[in-house]
Amino acid sequence: MVAVGGTRIEAGQIEIPRCLRLPGESARAYAAFCMFRDLREARSLTLVGRSLGCSKQNIGRWATHWNWKERCLAYDRHLDAIHRAAWIAERRAMKRRQMRHVIDMQGIAMSQLKELQSRAEAGLPLKLSVAEIIRFIEVGAKLERAARGEEGPQFRNISVIHAFDEAELTEAELTKEGL
């Protein structure tokens, strides 16, 4: 429970936005609150008092009576929500823009691929380096696996354990095994 302006209010039940002037709050107290609120990281009762020509004690009484701490926290959360929403909107716009570029690049690549296909069908030289041919194979295989819902090879750190009885091996096999 919070006391705001002499009224007891359950947390989260303040109907008016906390950064607005509260009923009964004087214009001077509200102006002091706004100044304090807008200082953000540099909030200081002393700075507000000096700016308004009020004592720190009077500013402190207003801050306590009008619950500046909770109101500023609500204001900060509100600003953070606005910034997060803007950030999310910017990321979505970036993704849409990048997807348009990807589609454009795929169109160009497909055009070039069709041209290569036509040259190959006509028996004309493709003028591709070995590295380019290998890259075509790698990318083609990767795209085919993705299209089929396969992830690709899962071979990592495979250990082959070969158990045998040395007595059963011939001299040639021992030499071959490096024993």
Q: Which of 66-80, 146-160, 163-177 has the largest mean confidence?
A: 66-80
Q: Report d(CA 25, CA 56) in Å as an integer.
A: 18
Residue 69: which of 139, 2, 159, 147 has the closest Cα? 2
CA angle 68, 74, 78 (to 5 degrees): 140
Model confidence at 6, in pLDDT bands (50, 70, 90)? Answer: very low
Percent of the chain with pLDDT over 70: 74
CA angle 35, 45, 65 (to 5 degrees): 85
Residue 174: the pLDDT is: 53
Residue 170: the pLDDT is: 60
pTM passes above 0.85: no
Q: Report d(CA 169, CA 167) in Å as an integer.
A: 6
Q: Please state, rounded to an integer, the average pLDDT across all residues of the chain.
A: 82
Residue 44: the pLDDT is: 96
Q: Report d(CA 110, CA 112) in Å as an integer.
A: 5
Rg (CA), the chain: 36
